[in-house]
Structure 1
Protein backbone atom coordinates (compact mmCIF):
# COMPACT_ATOMS: atom_id res chain seq x y z
CA UNK A 1 0.00 0.00 0.00
CA UNK A 2 1.53 3.33 -1.03
CA UNK A 3 0.97 6.52 0.93
CA UNK A 4 0.62 9.55 -1.29
CA UNK A 5 2.36 12.66 0.01
CA UNK A 6 1.57 15.95 -1.64
CA UNK A 7 4.28 18.42 -2.52
CA UNK A 8 3.54 20.74 0.39
CA UNK A 9 3.70 17.93 2.95
CA UNK A 10 6.92 16.61 1.41
CA UNK A 11 8.59 19.99 1.79
CA UNK A 12 7.42 20.23 5.39
CA UNK A 13 8.82 16.78 6.22
CA UNK A 14 12.14 17.69 4.61
CA UNK A 15 12.35 20.84 6.73
CA UNK A 16 11.55 18.85 9.89
CA UNK A 17 14.22 16.27 9.02
CA UNK A 18 16.79 19.03 8.42
CA UNK A 19 15.92 20.68 11.72
CA UNK A 20 16.28 17.33 13.51
CA UNK A 21 19.77 16.90 12.03
CA UNK A 22 20.77 20.43 13.05
CA UNK A 23 19.45 19.99 16.60
CA UNK A 24 21.28 16.66 16.95
CA UNK A 25 24.53 18.21 15.70
CA UNK A 26 24.13 21.17 18.05
CA UNK A 27 23.44 18.86 21.00
CA UNK A 28 26.54 16.76 20.28
CA UNK A 29 28.68 19.90 20.01
CA UNK A 30 27.33 21.30 23.30
CA UNK A 31 27.89 17.96 25.08
CA UNK A 32 31.44 17.81 23.76
CA UNK A 33 32.13 21.34 25.03
CA UNK A 34 30.71 20.50 28.47
CA UNK A 35 32.83 17.33 28.71
CA UNK A 36 35.94 19.28 27.68
CA UNK A 37 35.25 21.93 30.33
CA UNK A 38 34.67 19.27 33.00
CA UNK A 39 37.87 17.44 32.02
CA UNK A 40 39.81 20.71 32.10
CA UNK A 41 38.39 21.45 35.55
CA UNK A 42 39.33 18.01 36.80
CA UNK A 43 42.87 18.38 35.50
CA UNK A 44 43.18 21.81 37.11
CA UNK A 45 41.99 20.30 40.38
CA UNK A 46 44.56 17.52 40.13
CA UNK A 47 47.34 20.02 39.48
CA UNK A 48 46.25 22.04 42.50
CA UNK A 49 46.15 18.97 44.73
CA UNK A 50 49.67 17.89 43.76
CA UNK A 51 51.34 21.30 43.75
CA UNK A 52 52.66 22.99 46.89
CA UNK A 53 52.00 21.62 50.36
CA UNK A 54 50.80 18.02 50.42
CA UNK A 55 51.71 16.96 53.97
CA UNK A 56 49.51 18.03 56.85
CA UNK A 57 51.15 19.47 59.98
CA UNK A 58 50.67 16.07 61.68
CA UNK A 59 52.26 14.28 58.72
CA UNK A 60 55.28 16.56 58.80
CA UNK A 61 55.62 16.37 62.58
CA UNK A 62 55.54 12.58 62.45
CA UNK A 63 58.30 12.45 59.84
CA UNK A 64 60.42 15.01 61.71
CA UNK A 65 60.12 12.93 64.88
CA UNK A 66 60.50 9.49 63.30
CA UNK A 67 63.73 10.34 61.47
CA UNK A 68 65.81 10.80 64.66
CA UNK A 69 63.90 7.88 66.19
CA UNK A 70 65.05 5.63 63.33
CA UNK A 71 68.55 7.12 63.46
CA UNK A 72 68.90 6.11 67.10
CA UNK A 73 67.78 2.57 66.23
CA UNK A 74 70.64 2.50 63.70
CA UNK A 75 73.12 3.71 66.35
CA UNK A 76 71.93 1.00 68.75
CA UNK A 77 72.13 -1.65 66.03
CA UNK A 78 75.69 -0.59 65.16
CA UNK A 79 76.64 -1.04 68.82
CA UNK A 80 75.10 -4.51 68.79
CA UNK A 81 76.98 -5.50 65.64
CA UNK A 82 80.20 -4.30 67.27
CA UNK A 83 79.75 -5.68 70.80
CA UNK A 84 77.38 -8.65 70.88
CA UNK A 85 78.41 -12.26 70.26
CA UNK A 86 74.83 -13.56 70.18
CA UNK A 87 74.10 -14.70 66.62
CA UNK A 88 70.33 -14.17 66.88
CA UNK A 89 70.83 -10.67 68.22
CA UNK A 90 73.38 -9.90 65.49
CA UNK A 91 70.90 -11.05 62.86
CA UNK A 92 68.20 -8.86 64.42
CA UNK A 93 70.47 -5.80 64.49
CA UNK A 94 71.35 -6.30 60.83
CA UNK A 95 67.65 -6.70 60.01
CA UNK A 96 66.76 -3.45 61.81
CA UNK A 97 69.47 -1.55 59.93
CA UNK A 98 68.41 -3.00 56.59
CA UNK A 99 64.80 -1.95 57.17
CA UNK A 100 65.25 1.46 58.75
CA UNK A 101 68.08 2.96 56.68
CA UNK A 102 65.98 3.16 53.48
CA UNK A 103 63.00 4.34 55.54
CA UNK A 104 65.08 7.29 56.78
CA UNK A 105 65.97 8.16 53.17
CA UNK A 106 62.30 7.99 52.16
CA UNK A 107 61.12 10.14 55.09
CA UNK A 108 63.72 12.80 54.33
CA UNK A 109 62.59 12.82 50.69
CA UNK A 110 58.93 13.30 51.65
CA UNK A 111 59.86 16.31 53.78
CA UNK A 112 62.17 17.78 51.12
CA UNK A 113 59.57 17.34 48.38
CA UNK A 114 57.07 19.22 50.53
CA UNK A 115 59.52 22.01 51.37
CA UNK A 116 59.70 21.02 55.03
CA UNK A 117 62.67 21.09 57.40
CA UNK A 118 63.93 17.83 58.94
CA UNK A 119 64.49 19.33 62.39
CA UNK A 120 61.51 18.65 64.69
CA UNK A 121 62.36 21.82 66.61
CA UNK A 122 62.72 20.06 69.95
CA UNK A 123 64.68 17.26 71.61
CA UNK A 124 63.39 13.74 71.07
CA UNK A 125 65.11 12.43 74.21
CA UNK A 126 62.74 10.34 76.27
CA UNK A 127 60.05 10.40 73.58
CA UNK A 128 58.76 7.38 71.70
CA UNK A 129 60.83 4.98 73.81
CA UNK A 130 64.08 6.66 72.83
CA UNK A 131 67.16 6.20 74.99
CA UNK A 132 68.78 9.16 76.70
CA UNK A 133 72.42 10.05 76.09
CA UNK A 134 73.22 8.46 79.44
CA UNK A 135 71.38 5.27 78.46
CA UNK A 136 73.33 5.07 75.20
CA UNK A 137 76.63 5.61 77.01
CA UNK A 138 75.76 2.89 79.50
CA UNK A 139 74.83 0.53 76.67
CA UNK A 140 78.06 1.22 74.77
CA UNK A 141 80.11 0.48 77.90
CA UNK A 142 78.40 -2.87 78.48
CA UNK A 143 79.43 -6.26 77.15
CA UNK A 144 78.40 -9.91 77.08
CA UNK A 145 74.93 -10.87 78.29
CA UNK A 146 74.61 -7.55 80.12
CA UNK A 147 74.86 -5.72 76.80
CA UNK A 148 72.50 -8.15 75.09
CA UNK A 149 69.82 -7.71 77.75
CA UNK A 150 70.17 -3.92 77.80
CA UNK A 151 70.05 -3.74 74.02
CA UNK A 152 66.98 -5.94 73.68
CA UNK A 153 65.12 -4.27 76.54
CA UNK A 154 65.91 -0.85 75.13
CA UNK A 155 64.98 -1.80 71.57
CA UNK A 156 61.67 -3.31 72.69
CA UNK A 157 60.69 0.01 74.28
CA UNK A 158 62.03 1.82 71.23
CA UNK A 159 59.83 -0.27 68.92
CA UNK A 160 56.78 0.11 71.15
CA UNK A 161 57.30 3.87 70.93
CA UNK A 162 57.47 3.71 67.13
CA UNK A 163 54.26 1.67 66.88
CA UNK A 164 52.54 4.26 69.05
CA UNK A 165 53.94 7.17 67.02
CA UNK A 166 52.63 5.87 63.68
CA UNK A 167 49.09 6.37 64.94
CA UNK A 168 49.72 10.03 64.03
CA UNK A 169 49.53 9.17 60.32
CA UNK A 170 47.11 6.25 60.20
CA UNK A 171 44.39 8.63 58.98
CA UNK A 172 46.68 10.72 56.77
CA UNK A 173 45.26 11.92 53.45
CA UNK A 174 48.53 10.81 51.84
CA UNK A 175 48.13 7.17 50.79
CA UNK A 176 51.90 6.51 50.85
CA UNK A 177 52.08 7.62 54.48
CA UNK A 178 49.18 5.37 55.47
CA UNK A 179 50.94 2.45 53.78
CA UNK A 180 54.19 3.44 55.54
CA UNK A 181 52.40 3.40 58.90
CA UNK A 182 51.11 -0.09 58.15
CA UNK A 183 54.60 -1.36 57.25
CA UNK A 184 56.15 0.03 60.45
CA UNK A 185 53.36 -1.36 62.62
CA UNK A 186 53.59 -4.87 61.16
CA UNK A 187 57.39 -5.02 60.94
CA UNK A 188 58.16 -3.64 64.38
CA UNK A 189 55.34 -5.52 66.13
CA UNK A 190 56.81 -8.77 64.76
CA UNK A 191 60.29 -7.72 65.94
CA UNK A 192 58.95 -6.92 69.40
CA UNK A 193 57.68 -10.50 69.75
CA UNK A 194 60.98 -11.84 68.42
CA UNK A 195 62.95 -9.76 70.95
CA UNK A 196 60.75 -10.80 73.85
CA UNK A 197 61.36 -14.44 73.00
CA UNK A 198 65.08 -13.80 72.60
CA UNK A 199 65.27 -12.00 75.95
CA UNK A 200 63.84 -15.06 77.70
CA UNK A 201 66.69 -17.19 76.32
CA UNK A 202 69.53 -14.93 77.48
Structure 2
Protein backbone atom coordinates (compact mmCIF):
# COMPACT_ATOMS: atom_id res chain seq x y z
CA UNK A 1 0.00 0.00 0.00
CA UNK A 2 2.90 2.36 0.74
CA UNK A 3 4.18 1.88 -2.80
CA UNK A 4 0.83 2.99 -4.23
CA UNK A 5 0.70 6.06 -1.98
CA UNK A 6 4.31 6.94 -2.85
CA UNK A 7 3.62 6.49 -6.58
CA UNK A 8 0.53 8.70 -6.34
CA UNK A 9 2.44 11.40 -4.43
CA UNK A 10 5.28 11.26 -6.96
CA UNK A 11 2.93 11.52 -9.95
CA UNK A 12 1.12 14.50 -8.38
CA UNK A 13 4.44 16.22 -7.59
CA UNK A 14 5.68 15.79 -11.17
CA UNK A 15 2.36 16.98 -12.61
CA UNK A 16 2.42 19.95 -10.24
CA UNK A 17 5.87 20.96 -11.55
CA UNK A 18 4.57 20.85 -15.12
CA UNK A 19 1.38 22.79 -14.24
CA UNK A 20 3.35 25.45 -12.39
CA UNK A 21 5.79 25.80 -15.29
CA UNK A 22 2.85 26.25 -17.66
CA UNK A 23 1.31 28.80 -15.29
CA UNK A 24 4.55 30.79 -15.05
CA UNK A 25 4.87 30.77 -18.83
CA UNK A 26 1.27 31.42 -19.90
CA UNK A 27 -0.59 32.55 -16.79
CA UNK A 28 -3.08 29.67 -17.18
CA UNK A 29 -3.72 27.95 -13.85
CA UNK A 30 -4.16 24.23 -13.32
CA UNK A 31 -7.94 24.64 -12.98
CA UNK A 32 -8.14 26.08 -16.49
CA UNK A 33 -5.95 23.21 -17.72
CA UNK A 34 -8.32 20.82 -15.98
CA UNK A 35 -11.22 22.45 -17.83
CA UNK A 36 -9.40 22.03 -21.13
CA UNK A 37 -8.67 18.35 -20.44
CA UNK A 38 -12.30 17.82 -19.40
CA UNK A 39 -13.42 19.42 -22.65
CA UNK A 40 -11.17 17.09 -24.65
CA UNK A 41 -12.47 13.99 -22.89
CA UNK A 42 -16.07 15.17 -23.32
CA UNK A 43 -15.51 15.62 -27.04
CA UNK A 44 -13.95 12.18 -27.36
CA UNK A 45 -16.76 10.50 -25.41
CA UNK A 46 -19.44 12.30 -27.41
CA UNK A 47 -17.80 11.38 -30.68
CA UNK A 48 -17.58 7.76 -29.55
CA UNK A 49 -21.24 7.71 -28.48
CA UNK A 50 -22.47 9.30 -31.71
CA UNK A 51 -20.32 6.83 -33.65
CA UNK A 52 -21.79 3.87 -31.77
CA UNK A 53 -25.36 5.08 -32.27
CA UNK A 54 -24.99 5.49 -36.03
CA UNK A 55 -22.42 2.77 -36.78
CA UNK A 56 -25.01 0.27 -38.03
CA UNK A 57 -26.71 2.63 -40.45
CA UNK A 58 -25.78 3.38 -44.02
CA UNK A 59 -26.19 7.07 -43.29
CA UNK A 60 -23.12 7.11 -41.01
CA UNK A 61 -20.82 7.65 -43.95
CA UNK A 62 -22.95 10.35 -45.53
CA UNK A 63 -22.21 14.04 -45.25
CA UNK A 64 -25.84 14.69 -44.33
CA UNK A 65 -25.59 12.85 -41.02
CA UNK A 66 -22.24 14.41 -40.20
CA UNK A 67 -23.55 17.91 -40.83
CA UNK A 68 -27.04 17.49 -39.42
CA UNK A 69 -26.46 15.39 -36.30
CA UNK A 70 -22.82 14.96 -35.34
CA UNK A 71 -21.49 18.49 -35.88
CA UNK A 72 -24.23 20.49 -34.06
CA UNK A 73 -24.29 17.96 -31.23
CA UNK A 74 -20.55 18.26 -30.71
CA UNK A 75 -20.64 22.04 -31.16
CA UNK A 76 -23.29 22.61 -28.48
CA UNK A 77 -21.59 20.11 -26.19
CA UNK A 78 -18.36 22.09 -26.48
CA UNK A 79 -20.18 25.38 -25.91
CA UNK A 80 -22.03 24.10 -22.83
CA UNK A 81 -18.97 22.39 -21.35
CA UNK A 82 -16.87 25.52 -21.88
CA UNK A 83 -19.56 27.74 -20.39
CA UNK A 84 -19.99 25.60 -17.30
CA UNK A 85 -16.24 25.33 -16.82
CA UNK A 86 -15.65 29.05 -17.25
CA UNK A 87 -18.35 29.82 -14.67
CA UNK A 88 -16.87 27.55 -12.02
CA UNK A 89 -13.16 27.72 -12.87
CA UNK A 90 -12.75 31.21 -11.43
CA UNK A 91 -14.25 30.18 -8.09
CA UNK A 92 -12.29 26.90 -7.95
CA UNK A 93 -9.10 28.85 -8.63
CA UNK A 94 -9.70 31.37 -5.84
CA UNK A 95 -10.75 28.68 -3.38
CA UNK A 96 -7.72 26.49 -4.14
CA UNK A 97 -5.29 29.39 -3.84
CA UNK A 98 -6.88 30.49 -0.54
CA UNK A 99 -6.41 26.96 0.79
CA UNK A 100 -2.75 26.97 -0.25
CA UNK A 101 -2.24 30.36 1.43
CA UNK A 102 -3.83 29.11 4.66
CA UNK A 103 -1.49 26.11 4.74
CA UNK A 104 -4.07 23.46 3.85
CA UNK A 105 -3.40 20.96 1.13
CA UNK A 106 -5.66 20.28 -1.81
CA UNK A 107 -8.39 17.90 -0.53
CA UNK A 108 -8.27 15.76 -3.66
CA UNK A 109 -4.54 15.26 -3.10
CA UNK A 110 -5.03 13.51 0.24
CA UNK A 111 -8.49 11.97 -0.19
CA UNK A 112 -8.20 8.15 -0.35
CA UNK A 113 -11.07 7.85 -2.83
CA UNK A 114 -9.44 10.33 -5.23
CA UNK A 115 -6.13 8.49 -4.85
CA UNK A 116 -7.84 5.18 -5.63
CA UNK A 117 -9.46 6.60 -8.78
CA UNK A 118 -6.14 8.12 -9.94
CA UNK A 119 -4.23 4.87 -9.44
CA UNK A 120 -6.94 2.78 -11.13
CA UNK A 121 -6.99 5.17 -14.11
CA UNK A 122 -3.20 5.04 -14.41
CA UNK A 123 -3.21 1.23 -14.26
CA UNK A 124 -6.04 1.12 -16.78
CA UNK A 125 -4.06 3.40 -19.10
CA UNK A 126 -1.04 1.11 -18.85
CA UNK A 127 -3.12 -2.01 -19.56
CA UNK A 128 -4.94 -0.47 -22.53
CA UNK A 129 -1.62 0.82 -23.92
CA UNK A 130 -0.10 -2.66 -23.76
CA UNK A 131 -3.18 -4.20 -25.40
CA UNK A 132 -3.30 -1.54 -28.09
CA UNK A 133 0.35 -1.80 -29.11
CA UNK A 134 0.29 -5.59 -28.99
CA UNK A 135 -2.63 -5.56 -31.43
CA UNK A 136 -4.95 -7.55 -29.19
CA UNK A 137 -7.78 -5.09 -28.62
CA UNK A 138 -8.42 -1.41 -28.11
CA UNK A 139 -8.52 1.77 -30.10
CA UNK A 140 -6.88 5.16 -30.08
CA UNK A 141 -10.06 6.59 -28.58
CA UNK A 142 -9.69 4.28 -25.58
CA UNK A 143 -6.15 5.51 -25.04
CA UNK A 144 -7.18 9.14 -25.50
CA UNK A 145 -10.14 9.00 -23.12
CA UNK A 146 -8.23 7.20 -20.36
CA UNK A 147 -5.22 9.52 -20.83
CA UNK A 148 -7.45 12.58 -20.44
CA UNK A 149 -9.00 11.10 -17.31
CA UNK A 150 -5.54 10.45 -15.86
CA UNK A 151 -4.32 13.93 -16.78
CA UNK A 152 -7.47 15.52 -15.40
CA UNK A 153 -7.30 13.69 -12.10
CA UNK A 154 -3.62 14.55 -11.65
CA UNK A 155 -4.07 18.20 -12.68
CA UNK A 156 -7.06 18.60 -10.35
CA UNK A 157 -4.92 17.44 -7.39
CA UNK A 158 -2.21 20.06 -7.98
CA UNK A 159 -1.84 23.20 -5.88
CA UNK A 160 -1.94 26.42 -7.93
CA UNK A 161 0.50 29.31 -7.89
CA UNK A 162 -0.70 32.87 -7.23
CA UNK A 163 -2.54 34.35 -10.23
CA UNK A 164 -0.21 36.14 -12.65
CA UNK A 165 -0.07 37.20 -16.28
CA UNK A 166 2.73 34.89 -17.31
CA UNK A 167 5.94 35.50 -19.22
CA UNK A 168 4.35 35.32 -22.66
CA UNK A 169 1.74 37.96 -21.84
CA UNK A 170 4.42 40.21 -20.31
CA UNK A 171 6.56 39.74 -23.42
CA UNK A 172 3.65 40.68 -25.69
CA UNK A 173 2.86 43.72 -23.52
CA UNK A 174 6.47 44.89 -23.90
CA UNK A 175 5.93 45.18 -27.66
CA UNK A 176 2.95 47.44 -27.08
CA UNK A 177 4.89 49.69 -24.70
CA UNK A 178 7.88 50.03 -27.06
CA UNK A 179 5.76 50.59 -30.12
CA UNK A 180 6.10 49.21 -33.60
CA UNK A 181 8.68 51.79 -34.69
CA UNK A 182 11.42 49.98 -32.82
CA UNK A 183 10.59 46.76 -34.62
CA UNK A 184 10.97 48.30 -38.08
CA UNK A 185 14.56 48.85 -39.25
CA UNK A 186 15.24 52.57 -39.74
CA UNK A 187 18.40 52.58 -41.89
CA UNK A 188 17.42 50.64 -44.97
CA UNK A 189 19.58 51.38 -48.00
CA UNK A 190 18.40 50.44 -51.49
Larger radius of gyration: 1
TM-score by shorter chain over 0.5:
no
Higher relative contact order (CA 8 A, sep 6+): 2
TM-score (norm 1): 0.29
